[in-house]
Amino acid sequence: MFRSSAPLPPPELPGWPELLREFGCPAAALARPRPTWLRLAGSSGTDGTTHQLDLDYYEDHTLLVRVTTHRVPPPLAPDPAALLLDFLPTTSPSGPLTPATGTGWLFVDGSAVEGRRLTHHDHVLTIATIAAETVAVASTAVLHDEAVHLTFHTPPLPA
């Protein structure tokens, strides 16, 4: 057997258009991210089906905002407290998650959508059902009023 000592190239990560194509339906993104924010995209799924897209917005290696679009309908929709907890490890001190809840709003292309709002210390998550997707925005409290303004990106047509 022949073995090469040359290092393997880094794995190719799918770009946003490819992730949207795999997802197969529109996904939420910040309508007006700040120009200094770096956007990283990720997905999760089961059995070869992508069911969730995450767009993370960073500045200076700090996670500021996460926009999640989840397409699995209830009762399999994501748990809002779990989404907030998933956002917290990189941005908040540890401790029990006891979020305060109330009504929150997402604004999609200028239209208000009522949802549920969870607050934990200085972090906020707003989650709502929009069309067939569940959309959640987690951010620092200072940025949340800015972060709830969204737009939908649609999958590109096949080439």
| Domain architecture of the chain: domains with CATH | 16-153 (3.40.1000)
DSSP letters along the chain, please? -----SPPPPPPPP-HHHHHHHH-S-EEEESS--TT-EEEEEEEEETTEEEEEEEEEEETTEEEEEEEEE-PPTTSSPPHHHHHHHHGGGTS-------EEEEEEEEETTEEEEEEEEEETTEEEEEEEETTEEEEEEEEHHHHHHHTEEEEEPPPPP-
pLDDT tens digits along 22-32? 888 899 999 99
Name the band, by pLDDT with cuts 50, 70 and 90, for residue 87: low
Whether 12 has a pLDDT exceeding 70, the answer reads no
Whether 8 has a pLDDT exceeding 60, the answer reads no
| 91 or 27, greater pLDDT | 27
pLDDT of amino acid 98:
61
pLDDT of amino acid 97:
57
pLDDT tens digits along 69-86? 988 655 566 666 667 666
Adjacent-strand bridge partners of 134: 70, 129
pLDDT of amino acid 13:
42
Name the band, by pLDDT with cuts 50, 70 and 90, for residue 49: confident
pLDDT of amino acid 95:
56
- Provide the mean pLDDT of the chain: 80
Written as six digits, the tokens of 77 are 């929709």
| 45 or 148, greater pLDDT | 148
| 4 or 15, greater pLDDT | 15
